């Protein structure tokens, strides 16, 4: 028994070293492993931002009154809106928004002050650029809040109901706190999927697959040997992204590293299984790249990294149960931001374990089929 185990480990070590050297000796693969992860980590950290921080707007003040000036000064004093133009003709608002010079326009009619003084309802018009629904929605919400505060101040009273809002796990609602933990999962999945997919296809292109078939090793040893190096690369990439997120962007890590890397193990195992399935059915590396692109785009969209899964149609929500990226992102975010322990998340590991078992079983069957 011990001799069989010792032989298995020796053969596994040889296959793993061979795969690692194949990755390391290929300059293109070596660059793919390290450079994109660092670049995309910083890119998403700086560029992915759903917070409204700078909203240019234009104003048309036909009233030119004391209250209209006070209302516009409230917009200017928020630090979020800055006025790029004060127009005389309302027809120019559409032109400026269409050009993209402003995301919002405020129109105050000529009878604004008269209606306020007479106790009547005074309407103003807010126009937003709907081509960017996120910015349009946030701009409208902030504008409604500003107008509401203006009404209370003019009435000389405070609101009878006040909201004291607290946001757990992300107090300042910083977008990168949401995105960066998700990017740890997304980028590592793409790289591991690709490396595992290229492992067998590369052997076929280089003409060494036949030598592998006649080698005195079992298909299980070869399959495990093909799976371990991509997982090692995945752990390294996740660690790099974790360091960028924590040390550079100051996203606090609230959980346990043991629980975090346990989640990564099951996740990378399922990613490797998907890659080995693709590798087993591909005849060359070009086919692998096509399969990776075809599968990665829907898997990323269905993972919940952009829109919540619960907002998707019911039939798509069922499809997401086959997506390891969905469960991985949920685990990583809950460990990273909420600080939940393994005991609290035990059932969340089950879907990833099941997907790993299924994908590796299919990959093993396909691999043995090709060897036979």
What tens digit of pLDDT does each residue of 134-191 get?
A: 888 889 999 998 988 888 887 766 656 666 777 788 887 788 888 899 889 888 888 8
Residues 6+ apart with CB under 8 A from 111: 63, 122
Can you tell me the distance from the alpha carbon of 360 to that of 366, in angstroms, rounded to the nearest whole number? 10
pLDDT over 90 (residue 54): no
Is the CA virtual torsion 320, 324, 329, 334 positive or negative?
positive
Indicate the pLDDT class of residue 213, thresholds 50, 70 and 90: low
pLDDT of residue 266: 93
Please give the Cα distance from 58 to 85 (Å, whole number).
5
* Residue closest to 253 by CA, chosen among 334, 189, 331, 185: 334
Q: Where are the domains of the chain?
A: 2-48+174-371, 55-155
Which two structure tokens, joined as six digits, stand for 255?
A: 């959980």
Q: What is the mean pLDDT of residues 262-281?
A: 90
The tokens describing 185, both together, are: 């999962």
Burial classification of residue 36, based on how many CB atoms lie within 10 Å of its CB (0-12 exposed, 13-18 middle, 19 or more buried): middle
Can you tell me the distance from the alpha carbon of 86 to that of 72, in angstroms, rounded to the nearest whole number? 10
Tens digits of per-residue pLDDT, 214-233? 667 777 777 888 888 889 99
**What is the Cα–Cα distance from 190 to 155, expressed in whole angstroms?**
57
Residue 248 predicted with pLDDT over 80: yes
How far apart (Å, rounded) are the C-alpha atoms in residues 255 and 62?
Answer: 56
Q: What is the dihedral of CA 285, 290, 293, 296, to 10 degrees?
A: -80
Banded pLDDT at 264 (limits 50, 70, 90): very high
Note the pLDDT of residue 161. Answer: 62
Question: For the segment 6-50, what is each residue's pLDDT rounded down to a tens digit?
Answer: 777 787 787 788 878 877 777 777 777 778 888 988 988 888 777
CB-CB contact of 341 with 197 (8 Å) = no
**Higher pLDDT among residues 284 and 290, named by residue:** 290
Residue-wise pLDDT for 80-136, tens only, equals 898 999 998 888 898 899 998 999 999 999 999 998 888 888 889 999 998 888 888
pLDDT of residue 263: 93
Strands 81-87 and 55-61: parallel
Sign of CA dihedral 104, 109, 112, 113: positive
- Distance from C-alpha of 372 to C-alpha of 63, rounded to nearest angstrom: 85
Q: CA-CA distance, 95 to 80, in Å (whole number)?
A: 22
Q: pLDDT band at residue 356, thresholds of 50, 70 and 90? A: very high
What is the distance in angstroms between the CA of the first residue and the CA of the last residue of the chain? 27
Q: What is the pLDDT of residues 303-346, one digit of tens each?
A: 988 888 988 999 999 999 999 999 999 999 999 999 888 888 88
CATH topology of domain 55-155: abc type-2 transporter like fold (3.40.1710)
**Helix, strand, or coil here: 128?**
strand
230 touches 272 (CB < 8 A)? yes
Give percent of the chain above pLDDT 70. Answer: 94
Q: What is the band of 203 on the pLDDT scale with cuts at 50, 70, 90?
A: confident
What is the per-residue pLDDT for 58? 94
**Sole residue written with tokens 């980590």:** 41
Q: Which residue has the tokens 């036909």?
A: 62
Which DSSP helix (H) or strand (E) runs through 276?
A: helix 257-281
d(CA 288, CA 290): 5
Residue 372 in this model has a pLDDT that exceeds 70: no
Q: What is the mean pLDDT of residues 191-204?
A: 82
**CB count in 10 Å sphere of residue 176:** 21
Q: Which pLDDT value is given to residue 167?
A: 78
Within 47-168, strands assigned E span: 55-61, 81-87, 104-108, 125-128
Of residues 112, 147, 110, the one with CA closest to residue 126: 147
CA angle 352, 354, 360 (to 5 degrees): 95
Strand order in the sheet with 104-108: 81-87, 55-61, 104-108, 125-128
Q: Round to whole Å and give the CA distance between 299 and 319.
A: 10
């Amino acid at each position: 028994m011990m001799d069989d185990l010792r032989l298995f480990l020796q053969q596994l070590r040889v296959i793993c070293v061979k795969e690692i050297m194949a990755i390391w000796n290929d300059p293109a693969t070596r660059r793919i492993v390290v450079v994109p992860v660092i670049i995309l980590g910083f890119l998403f950290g700086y560029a992915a931002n759903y917070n409204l921080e700078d909203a240019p707007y234009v104003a048309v003040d036909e009233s030119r009154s004391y209250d209209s000036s006070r209302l516009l000064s409230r917009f200017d004093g928020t630090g979020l809106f800055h006025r790029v133009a004060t127009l005389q003709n309302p027809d120019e608002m559409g032109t400026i928004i269409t050009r993209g010079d402003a995301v919002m326009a405020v129109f105050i009619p000529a009878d604004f002050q008269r209606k306020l003084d007479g106790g009547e309802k005074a309407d103003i018009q807010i126009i937003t650029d709907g081509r960017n629904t996120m910015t349009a929605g946030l701009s409208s919400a902030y504008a409604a809040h500003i107008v509401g505060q203006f009404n209370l101040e003019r009435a000389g009273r405070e609101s009878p109901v006040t909201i004291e809002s607290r946001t757990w796990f992300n107090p300042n609602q910083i977008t990168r706190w949401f995105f960066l933990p998700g990017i740890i999962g997304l980028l590592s999945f793409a790289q591991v999927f690709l490396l595992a997919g290229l492992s067998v296809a590369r052997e076929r292109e280089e003409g060494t697959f036949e030598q592998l078939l006649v080698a005195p090793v079992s298909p299980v040893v070869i399959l495990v040997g093909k799976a371990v190096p991509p997982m090692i690369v995945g752990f390294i990439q996740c660690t790099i992204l974790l360091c960028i997120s924590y040390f550079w962007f100051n996203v606090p890590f609230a959980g346990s590293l043991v629980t975090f890397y346990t989640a990564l193990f099951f996740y990378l195992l399922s990613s490797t299984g998907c890659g080995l399935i693709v590798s087993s059915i591909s005849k060359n590396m070009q086919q692998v790249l096509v399969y990776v692109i075809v599968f990665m785009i829907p898997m990323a969209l269905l993972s919940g990294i952009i829109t919540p899964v619960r907002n998707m149609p019911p039939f798509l929500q069922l499809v997401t149960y086959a997506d390891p990226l969905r469960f991985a992102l949920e685990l990583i975010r809950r460990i990273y931001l909420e600080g939940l322990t393994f005991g609290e998340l035990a059932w969340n590991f089950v879907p990833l374990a099941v997907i790993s078992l299924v994908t590796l079983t299919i990959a093993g069957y396909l691999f043995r089929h090709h060897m036979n």
